[in-house]
Chain A
């Protein structure tokens, strides 16, 4: 099972519409990161959230981390074709051996129709 689940898996919206992507963990997250990517290309860092209840915005993208630090949402307002891509959440997860590893969510593919 995936430790970081994203929903929806894929999304097609008309330009100008708002949309929300969710990232859920069964464990408390110590830091939650959002990235945008296109397959075969590097990651574009969007935002990092650390505190429960934290919310950050950049241009038309807003990310929130819930109070329990187990769920985050990424909201895009008035989407544009340039928003299209794969959105990934990432986080530190503790391992059974007591160390940490950095993993990504299952990903959300966004397509914006002009």
Chain B
């Protein structure tokens, strides 16, 4: 089956620094990947849709300059949280879409900004 690897699984960073989260499709090519954020006791909220070779489509209310998404290849999408602040502390998860397998999710990244 399809596997999506997300790295790191946990990260702690200082306020004001940037953090990059990677999402890789290991055995398939994904033209489309999705990034989600989850706060405690809440559901997974779609942040943006990442398309290989083009700009990401951000959901309303998500700052594109703060959450930089790069999907430079068919197997890798990255989410960079720039100038992170404690309110950015959250659980981030990605998913990749591939025709045969449908949607496959990464295992998530727990970000803590101190």
Set B43, B46, B106, B108: member contacting A107, Cβ < 8 A? B43
CB neighbours (8 Å) of B46 from chain A are 101-104
Separation of A31 and B102 alpha carbons in the complex (Å):
10
User: In the complex, given contacts A102-B95, A107-B44, what are 10 additional A-B residue pairs having Cβ atoms less than 8 angstroms apart?
Assistant: A40-B91, A40-B108, A42-B93, A42-B107, A42-B108, A43-B93, A88-B43, A103-B46, A104-B36, A104-B43
Interface presence of B103 (CB below 8 A): yes
Separation of A40 and B108 alpha carbons in the complex (Å):
7
* Interface size, B (range): 20 to 34
CB neighbours (8 Å) of B67 from chain A are none
- Chain B residues at the A interface, C-beta cutoff of 8 Å: 34, 36, 38, 40-46, 49, 91, 93, 95, 97, 102-103, 105-108, 110
A39 contacts B91, CB within 8 Å? yes
Q: Which of A30-49 contact B (CB under 8 A)?
A: 31, 33, 39-43
B34 contacts A105, CB within 8 Å? no
Nearest Cβ distance between residue A97 and chain B, in whole angstroms? 8
Interface presence of A7 (CB below 8 A): no
CB neighbours (8 Å) of A104 from chain B are 36, 43-46
